[in-house]
Each structure stands twice: as structure tokens, then as C-alpha cells.
Structure 1
């Protein structure tokens, strides 16, 4: 009798899950129907409204302001007149080559003659602050939507997104992942300051969510996109310094110098277990071009591989690690994740490591990367987590 009751309960739970999955599919389809009926494109409409303003100001001078300003300059006809920040130390100083930083009081003096583009994760707080000062022409123009506007506004791509997003609902292993999928796609098209944004799906512990990733004492960790050593050092700390070895890859020469310096400060016993590679990961051994950042800064938040500038060596992960028993792979490599995963096929198929792979650099990576990982290891459980209040840092987790 107990077995029958348990079976009945499990069948009921499975039915509830299946019904909720149908709801997500329906919501995605309804969302994209709504988008398909919108004229003009929301981003184009915002840009047109901003272009009609006498002045344009970017508010915020933190890390994310740099790629946003670059995207505005590279992908729109907008002319930015000045910037603004709440930090008094920045007032009167010039940023982004030629833009003077005003105080909020100075900015308020322009009234409705100025269009303000918020470039900070605290967009709701800044929006409220500016509204109280009498400013009304306020927008959040994210880098993601500017870089991917051409892809997202093509009618034929709406059907591609619809088909693959519906498939993803079945592929994902928990409710939270499916909700994140829906919110991400919604924000591609309907992002607003007053709307849900990303706060409802934001979670901390990037690369180490406790409900998905558990570290073991003998981890062999691959850090692809090791930057200045920040994620590598976090891994060392989270592992309690109990790990077998680390393979760290960083293409940008400036960042690699910082990475070497950071590792050089570790205890020699730990440093000797870390192999550093000044190269990128790809699906073949080749030379690739990339846009370099200044020392101590990320090259860019998105899509830098293939950009004119520096050149460097790229390798296949499977060729480097050889017979090493890789147990955990983290990737954040500016849109090259799928190419790198193709070059890691043997490692993934044979060793089934845990994976934490960024999927926010290109829209299609949101479904292409999870689908590819599942094709290599059908028993992988696939999860999505989102780790900022803006479009950055969506990570696909795959665990056996």
C-alpha cells in the first residue's frame, strides 16, 4: 500500500511539473507573438526619442559604463555630450576620452532638454533619483540590446528563438531555470526600468551555486577566461586549498600579466599545482585576433574575438589537458564558448566534468550551448542561473 501511495504521489508531481512546463512554453509563445506585432522595434523607438533631445548624458562611471558607451558609439548615431555620476571625486573630470562628468545638480539644470542613459546596475535607484530632480527623459540602454539589435529585430529570427526556447523548457532541470529562460527572452525585447528587469532572477555565488555545484578535494579545475586571476583565486579559496591541479587560460596579454602576478603571490605548494596559458580556447590550434583591454580591465563584456587589434594563439582544450582527469570547467571567454566546447569534446564525453559556461554573449548561445552539452553527455542535468541585475553573467551549469 505504501508503494502504491508513493507511486501515486510521484505521478501527481510529474503531472504538475509537465503542466507547468506547458505554461512556460505558452508564455514564451505569447511573448514572441506580442513582439512580432510591435512596430517599430522598441530599441529603434528609444533611439529615435533620444536623438530628438538637445543633449545626451550617460549616468554612471562604473565598470559596465565602458562597454555601454563603446556600444553606443559603435552601433548608433547618438552623440553623447557629457556624463554624470554620484561620486563627487569624479565631477569636473573627463572620461571616455572627451566627456566631462557633471554633478547630479548640474545635470538637473538641463531639465527636459537632456536624455539620460543609465549605465549602472542600480538603474531603478538612479531612475528614482533623477525623477525626483525633475528629469523625465530617462532610459536604460543595455549593451546586449545594442550589440544584438540586428539579430533580434529580424522577423525570421523570432521563429528561431520560439522553436529553440520551447525546446529548452524540456531540457532544463528545474523550475528556476525555466523561469530565468522566460525572463531573459522577455528582457531581450521588453526591458523597462519599471518592469521586472533581472532582479527577480538574480542570484549570487556565480560558478558555485550551492544547489548545483559541490566541490570535492581532488578537483582538476579548468579556468577558461581566467582574466586577472579573480575566479582562480576564488576557486582556491572555496576548495579550502584542497585541489589536485588547475589549468588557467587567458588570451589577453595585459590580463595574463595580472594573472601571473596574482598566482605568484600564492604559497609555492599551491602555485606549483597551477598551469598558466597565455592563449585562448578554440576548436582548432590557430591564431585569432581580439580587442585588448588595458591592464587590469576586461577586454570587453561581449563579442571581442575576431575584432581587429591584438593577435594570439588559440588551442584545443583536449590537446592541452591530455589524460588529466578534468572534473570542473568554467568558461567566460567573450562569445567563444561554443568554439571552445567543440575543442573540449573528448574531455567532456570521456570525463563528464561539471561545467559552468557563460551563455550571455550571443542570443543563440542560450540554447546552442546547453543542447550541445546534452548531446555529448545525455545524462547531464542542465541548469540556468543569472548573476547580475543587468544582462551580463547568465551561466549554464551542466552536472552529471
Structure 2
């Protein structure tokens, strides 16, 4: 396996105000950066057989890799799942000591602090523990998911842009989560702010968002995957909404959405629209990498060609706009600028798929939207799950 990265945890007791956040940014930028992606050049083990573990196995197939063993605390149940039956799935206690010493352990878990998990695994005898996304980053030419990107150096102008974003957040928790995000992608360190916990449960529906939702929302789910977020929206508003519009160009995902819609009462189902286009800055056709689950995306080496459109070229009038586009969020927002200015929706947008999340994407929104509050929340670990929330101070019909 490639060169090991030194992972370490840094804990800060209090969330920072703007001056403190800028000082901590300078500290991050002056430290030695992480060494880079980890290619696999021999046998290895996989830890974690949950949703992320399933994506890991799909990635391994594309990269022509296969774990020697899969380790999971629920191995007895996992062994009976068809997708894992071809694997040697072991409980942690069943792994021989010589394998722990010999095999790098690729961790497909992002719901706990990686550093703390790695320390626990190392205390059990594992010598080399690495996050899945660091391995995936070494194979971007065949598998496009880019959550494991490493942050490069910033010039003076770029650092000033990040500082502007830190100052633009509407609360100190956002500044803490932004620094935590930067520290992981720059240093591969877990900066943990005790008063700013990662929220695993409320992605896209944090209290600040839910408090604004009314009975006449037009919820626009861009990158709808299999309809999970739309389902949570319906439950949150108890089926009291004007319309739901879902954009999902992956036909496998769209088929699952259609099955779910078919099971809804007619009065709820007829208020849904499912559109096959991908959203971008302007209309046209682009290559698309499908069948990656929630990672399907526009990609230059995708095998399919899909229709793309700008939201401004549609009749969609969102009151709540959610975007999860695997790094293409800024292009989609730029193609929705007129719509956003006209309808002033709540916006929730993922910012963690590329370096645009450091400042380009949030600063574009901060400069484009007027009379809004801006928040950043992390909803998972390993530099993932970062969502920017833009909340209008005055709403229109949807909150009536």
C-alpha cells in the first residue's frame, strides 16, 4: 500500500468567533499537510459492511481489487446478506493476529470520529488503518467519487476568500464545522469542537430549517437518489405541501423512486414530478457515470450521455431547494441564479465533494443572496457530510 498518513486528533474546547477562526485557519495552513491518496498494492482488509461498505465493494469491483477479509461487528448477520456471501466476513475477535499485522485495514465508516476509531483498532493489533475515501482518491480515473480529496496550498487571495466565508457564517458553530472540514482535507486531522457536535440525524432538516417550513412548500430535490430525502420532507411536513419536484438522471435510482411513488395515496402522489435531467449551468448533453447509487454523477468518462438543463430554463418555482450533486453543485446553482433571486427559497447544498466547498461555493451564495442567514453543518466524519444552509429572513407564500 502507498505511504501512510499520520492521523491525529486536535480538540478545541469552545467554538470560535470570527477572529479566533481566522487564527485557527492560519494554524491549519501553516502545518504540514497530509501526504496524499493511498493506492493499494497488495492484500488488504475492509472494516465495515454497512451502506458505505457496500459502496466500497462497488468501488473495489471497478478498481479490480478485492479484500482478503471483511471485518464487521455484526458479521453473523452480514454473512446472510446476498451481497456479502462471496466474502470472508469475520467478527473483530475472529481476525488472527498475523493478519492484523500484515493487512492494511480500509475503514468504510464515516459515522464516528476516524481518529478515535483508528486508535481503538490499533489497540486491537491493527498496524495500518486508513479511511476508505483516501484509497478511493487514488483511483479517480476509473471511479469518480471524490470525497477523499486533499487540500493543496492556498495563495494569499484564496486565504482571504476563506476568511470572508468564515466571517460570513451566521453562527460560531458554522465556523467550527468549517474549520473541522478544512483540517481534515488539509491535515487529515479530526479537529473536534466540544460545543459543535456533528449531527448524524438531521441532514437537510436541521431545526433552523424545520422552523421555517409551512404547509405550501415547493420542495425541489436535485440529486434525488432513491427518494430518501423527499420521504423525510413529506414526513416532516406531514404531507402538507404544494409540490415536490425530483431531478434524478440515474435510471436505476429513478425506478426505485417510481416504485415508492406508486405506493403513495393518490392525493399525495399527484403532487410529485420526477424529471430525468441533470441540472447544470446551461442546457445540453453531458456524459454521466450511472449505477453508483448516491454517487452517480456527471463525469467525463461516464458511459452514458444524459440531458442537462438549467433550473432557470424550467417552470420549477422552489420554496426549498436541496442539491446533492457530487461536486457539480456550483454549476447547478449558477444555472438557477434567476430562479433563486426570484423565489428566495431555503437552500441546502452539499459542499464536501470538491475544493469548491472551501470558499468558491459558499462565497458565491453569500454574494448572490441578500437578506439571508448562512449556516454550515457537518453530518458525518472524514471530511464528508458538509451541508450549507441558506435561510431567507423573509419568506413568501410557502410559510403562510
Q: 2:70 aligns with which of 64, 74, 83?
A: 83
Cα gap change, 1:197 to 1:175, in 2 (>3 Å):
closer
Gaps of 5+ in 2: 1-15, 141-145, 393-400
TM-superposition CA deviations, 1:158-185 (whole Å, max 9, x none): 6565332211111111111011111110
State the distance in 2 between where 1:149 and 1:249 align: 22
TM-score (norm 2): 0.79
Structure 1 residue 68 displacement after superposition = 4.6
Q: 1:256 aligns with which of 247, 254, 257?
A: 254
Question: How many residues are paired up?
Answer: 364
Cα gap change, 1:95 to 1:223, in 2 (>3 Å):
closer
Gaps of 5+ in 1: 1-18
Return the structure number with greater relative CO, CA threshold 8 A, min gap 6.
Answer: 2
Structure 1 residue 145 displacement after superposition = 6.0
Give the secondary-structure state (helix, strand or coil) at the position aligned to 1:364. helix
User: Which residue of the partner structure matches residue 3 of structure 2?
Assistant: none
Give the secondary-structure state (helix, strand or coil) at the position aligned to 1:30. helix
User: Which residue of the partner structure matches residue 135 of structure 1?
Assistant: 126
Deviates more, 1:145-154 or 1:363-372: 145-154
Contact 1:338 1:365 in 2 (8 A): no
Structure 1 residue 219 displacement after superposition = 0.7
Q: 2:302 aligns with which of 301, 308, 313?
A: 308
Structure 1 residue 107 displacement after superposition = 4.5
State the distance in 2 between where 1:120 and 1:287 align: 35
Contact 1:291 1:310 in 2 (8 A): yes
Structure 1 residue 99 displacement after superposition = 5.8
Cα gap change, 1:149 to 1:261, in 2 (>3 Å):
closer
Structure 1 residue 374 displacement after superposition = 2.4
Structure 1 residue 283 displacement after superposition = 1.4
Give the alignment's Cα RMSD to 1 decimal: 3.4
State the distance in 1 between where 2:43 and 2:195 align: 30
TM-superposition CA deviations, 1:353-383 (whole Å, max 9, x none): 1100111111223422222222222222111
Structure 1 residue 56 displacement after superposition = 2.0
Contact 1:249 1:280 in 2 (8 A): yes
Structure 1 residue 110 displacement after superposition = 1.9
* 1:169-248 matched pairs, under 5 angstroms: 169-192=166-189, 196=192, 201-203=197-199, 204-213=201-210, 214-248=212-246
Q: Of the two, which has the highest radius of gyration? A: 1
State the distance in 1 between where 2:234 and 2:343 align: 22
Cα gap change, 1:304 to 1:81, in 2 (>3 Å):
farther
Structure 1 residue 34 displacement after superposition = 1.1
User: Which residue of the partner structure matches residue 9 of structure 1?
Assistant: none
TM-score (norm 1): 0.79
Structure 1 residue 391 displacement after superposition = 2.8
